[in-house]
Every structure is written in C-alpha cells, then in structure tokens.
Structure 1
C-alpha cells in the first residue's frame, strides 16, 4: 500500500515537472514570438494615444480600457481561431497573408509621409482626434480604434504564429493566447501611462518639493514632444516592419534575389549592429517604395480620374 502510494506520488511529481517544463517552454516560445512582432507593437502603441486626445481626463483611462478589451476580443475570439485553422490546414497561406499585412503597413507609413511632406492639400482632418462630444462620440471613437487595432492585431498574431508553426496544435493555441494577453497588456498599459503622464506632471508640479515641481513641469512640457516623437517612431516602424515582412516572405514564396541581395550587403557590413542597420535601412526603403506605389494608386489615380 505504502509502495503504491509512493509510486503514485512519484508519478504526480513527474507530471508536475513535465507541466512546469511545458509552461516554461510556452513562455519562452511566446517571448520569442512577441519579439518578432515588436515593430508592429511599437506602431500599435504609437497609433492609439490620438484616439483619446480631447476627452475629459476623467474618461481617458475608461476609453483606453474599452479599446484594450476590444483589442483582446479581436485577438482571442476572431484572429486566434482563424490563425490556428490556417496553420493546421492551409499553412501555405500564411506568407501571402503576411505580405498583404506588410503592404498595408507600408501604405500606412507612406501615407503618413505623404500627409506631412506631399504637395497640395494635406489630410490632417483625417486624423482621428477626439473631441468630447458625449457617450455617442466616445462609442464612435472606441469603435474606430478597435477597427484600426484589428489590422495591427492580426499582423501581430500571424507574425507570432509564423514563429511557432512547428509546435503541436495545443501548444500553438496556448502560445498565441499568451502572446495576445501579454501584447495587449503591454501596449495598452503603456498607452495608459503615456496618456496620463501630463496629469501626473500637473500633480507633481503642485507638490511642495522643488524637485517634484521641476519634474512635474518637465513632464507637462515634454509629453507633447514625446508624443510627436512617438508618432514619428511609429511611421518608421510601419515602413521598416512592412518592408521586412515583404522581403522575408517574398523569399519564402520563391522570389529570392531581394532577400539574398540584402543579406549579402548585411554580411559585407560585418554583421552585428552595423549589419542590422543595413538590413533595417533596406527594409525601410522597400517599405517606402511599396507604400508609395499603393499611395499613388489610392490617392493620385482616383484624383486624375475625377478630373477627367
């Protein structure tokens, strides 16, 4: 009896160790997959703050919470099952889907550059800047943010999935679920902190401590500049990530020379940090070129047709 009990305890301990190892493996795989999607995450964090500009400060965190819940619903309810089905039954579609997402990111980045530096009428009015117009307006802004998030979330999840396609189905599902929760918490936690940083600055500026006042005033003055820098980083991230996605997946689909050329230049640069800079610059150039072509198709061609 005692021997049987000890054997049972040994089995339970072995299962516990196996489960712990599996959790560690899932956590490590989720970490690797999330790292691959880092560029899109930066873009997501850069895009979201403008959806809460203009709201009463007391509503800002509530709006961000609603967008975060919608983002998590996008990932878990819609994107994750679709991604798992694709990886199980139509893995060959992942590369074309990623290329469509890369093209969209390149277009978004190039369109932002066109709005900043292009000739003629700019499109600042298209920026989704909020104005405090009551519950209906808040609902509209949240819905708009969640729709935008869907594209970025899909890209994040497919990039993550591409890194774990060799894992068993259940492990894939668990890894993607961890990525979905972790990325959503990271992005919207950072967005909440960014949005409330000026309020924190105002609070510190009212303190009796001279140091706290100085820090508070610095935050109040510095946050608008930081948001502008973040928006610029978001544009660069869209072009770089979009171009890199196109480069890598074109190679997977059989069009090898662009990837091989960039890889050759990267090796000539000596690899390491300099090689990474070369690769990133080439990816960004590809993003600019592809994005500019799509911008021309979307904006210039319809305008000429309208004139005729």
Structure 2
C-alpha cells in the first residue's frame, strides 16, 4: 500500500515511524515532512494547506491511502477532496473538522448534547465581549475561536488581563482570522488531560489519555505554547474515569455529530479539565 502522510511536526514523525512498521506498506511519502521524517520516508515540498496540490499529487502518484496529521488541511476540506477523487483518507471531512477548527462550534455542540463544560459566550463584537467580561469578572478565560497553533487560549486572573486579551485577539489580531470570533468562558480549576478516541462516525474506541507541557515557563507559568512534549498514559485518567469520559463526553459528541449529518471519522481529541465535579470539556 502506498501511503501519503500530510504534515511536518513531531506528531507526523511519530506517525511515520509507526506506519513504516506495517507489513502492508510498500511506500511512504510525506508532504512536506521534516528532517527527521526524511530518514524514513520520501518528503515532497507540498504545503499542508495546498489542498489542490496534495490531491493532484495523490492522484498522479496513485496513492492508496492518505493520513492527515494537522487540523488546518482538514478544516479546509482535504478529506472531502480526496474522497471525491476516490482516494481513501484518514481524517474527518471539513464540516466535522469544525470540532477542532472552531471553539464556538465545539461549545455549541456540548451545550446541545449535554456534555459537561464551562459556561461560555461567543462574540464577534469587541465591545460586547468586553462588556460580558466586566459583567462576569475574573478569573476568566479568553479564547480565539479559530485555529491558533495551540496558542489562542489566555487564562486571565484579573479583569485588566481579560480586557487586554480581547484587544490582543480582536483589535491587534495577534492570531489573525482565528481571533475574529472569541469564546469567553468560566475559569475551571483542576488537572488538565487530553483524551483521544478512534471514531468511524457512529462508534468510538478509547485511545486513552495524555498530558502535555503547555505553559512556556517553569511551574506552569506564562502563556501557552503549541506543545513542548507530552506523556501517556496520564495517571489522572483512571479506568473508571476513562469510562465516564467515554459515556458523558465522547459518545454524546459522536452521536450529536452523526445526528447533525456531519459524522466524525478519525481521531477525536477532547481537552479536559478534571476537577472535583468530574471531567469537563474545555476544547
């Protein structure tokens, strides 16, 4: 089987390493790849968001299966275009990929399906966003709704910091179009964990949990980064908690997406806060 892997990060290096071990693999190609991936796959200079270029390459090289690592090409419709071309692909179509591409969409799904999450409001008007923050007070969380490479969430201990975060996203446009809409939500306390499930659109299998090192400074201080390492399994996610997450968060999301006519196929990511009231979905 000839496989095209899309992406250029550490995640794709891990995927390439594992794909290379398959006895069914005849050739592994990565677009665009990186220096590490180049040691185990043929790398081609096609950007992850060059949807037409990726589809044309897959057709020209008779690729059998495409594995998509990053969220951005999925939100841009790469899985849709590959499916239309008759090429098998691992990853959700654009409408389903909105779960990761839009925090506002995710929060609305949670509200609609009863998934436990923080209270929230979404805004495209900067003055209304500021008024909401002033009404609610601090601490509070301000998020760029769109994809911001893992950096679009600002935890605001004070009201001044919250107002500055809104300015940063909506006025100064630090995160570009990702900050045109913001989600302002409750500041939850507890221990964070990332949970993953393999989905076929109607069912899901747990891939268990991981925890990463998000904040730039020692002791979890400073702004969030795009990721500086992770470990799995996460001790905080016990077998009992894993079952609870599947029942109260993952399966309602899978069912809700299917009922909306946008079934999610691929690896479903759930960012969780584990507090005294149990797990809550934060992204």
> With structure 1 as the length reference, what TM-score do the two structures score?
0.25
Q: Which has the higher strand share?
A: 2
- Rg (Cα) greater in structure: 1
Structure with larger RCO (C-alpha < 8 A, sep 6+): 1
> With structure 2 as the length reference, what TM-score do the two structures score?
0.26
